[in-house]
Amino acid sequence: MPAVVRTREELAEARAAAGGSLALVPTMGALHEGHRSLIREARRRADVVAVSVFVNPLQFGPGEDFDRYPRTFDADLRACAEEGAALVFAPGREVMYPTEPQVTVRSGPMGARVEGVTRPGHFDGMLTVVLKLFNLVRPDVAVFGQKDAQQLAMIRRMVLDLNLPVEVVGAPTVREPDGLALSSRNRYLSADERATALALSRALRAGADAARGGPEAIAGAARAVLAEAATAEPPLTLDYLVLVDPATFLEVADAHTGPAVLAAAGRVGATHLIDNLPLDLGAPPER
């Protein structure tokens, strides 16, 4: 089993004893196959893998699901052991935030775009805890999922702007056989809600299939799928569908060529779901 450390002092001792290069996989627990794939990628990148498990209150807004967010530590620990992680950092709130934070990370203009419109302040809280984890664990490499594409872009920007000595690696989204992107929140969905939620991935694939027609064709194909889902029972309530630059999350121009991200988010019942698909405009669509 991995060594489990819960305090800063225990973490410092374990980090000093680790030796070699270290890769960190930050998580909020409720680990699934997507997280397992991140741990496997981390093992390819470093001698030692550490996984953090901490449900970060700063990135949940009023009325969001902080209290009901799944906490499955025993199962998470078994998953870490099976995937070869050597260290699990599982701090309590009092360890990460011994006092009410007064100085935090501000996500800037990028943090107010796309998902930031739906969840104001979310990226401030996310970047604050990631910076704290980087400072505490001192990883050489940190691995995050492409499924949270805007989060990945923001972390890369923070590392660049603050000169942090961490290599940030993005790993591909892992999906269920029917296309639904794996998420800890999927367990909230009833069978009918899950059937509706599949419209997100179908819309992205439809947009990818229309990629040769450019941004307008991509958006039109995706929106046609989402319009049908809006009339389903239960319906999908769309928060956004955007085609953006993967580095800035600004919407791309109609004449854009090169890398882009088609991102979508919506609510089915009480569950907020996000998904995205990387595209290369001017090249065959990625499937």
Q: Which residues are tagged catalytic?
A: 35
Tokens of 202: 């179908």
d(CA 31, CA 29): 5
CA pair distance 192, 155, nearest whole angstrom: 35
Distance CA 127, CA 2 (A): 26
Q: Is 29 annotated as a binding residue?
A: yes
Q: Is 126 annotated among the ligand-binding residues?
A: no
Q: Is 226 assigned to a binding site?
A: no
Residue 272 annotated as lining a ligand binding site: no
Q: Is 63 annotated as a binding residue?
A: no
- Whether residue 108 is annotated as binding a ligand: the answer is no
Closest CA to 55 of 111, 98, 96, 4: 96
> In the chain, where do the E strands start and end?
3-5, 22-27, 48-53, 87-89, 141-145, 167-171, 236-244, 258-268, 271-281
CA distances from 218 to 124, 278, 280, 281 (A): 31, 12, 12, 10
Residues with Cβ within 8 Å of 224's Cβ and at least 6 positions away in sequence, in order, are 206
146 assigned ligand-binding residue: yes
Query: Is 37 one of the annotated binding-site residues?
Result: no
Residue 267 labelled as part of a binding site: no
- Residue 35 annotated as binding site: yes
Annotated binding site for beta-alanine: 59
Annotated binding site for (R)-pantoate: 59, 151
Annotated binding site: 28-35, 59, 145-148, 151, 174, 182-185
Annotated binding site for ATP: 28-35, 145-148, 174, 182-185
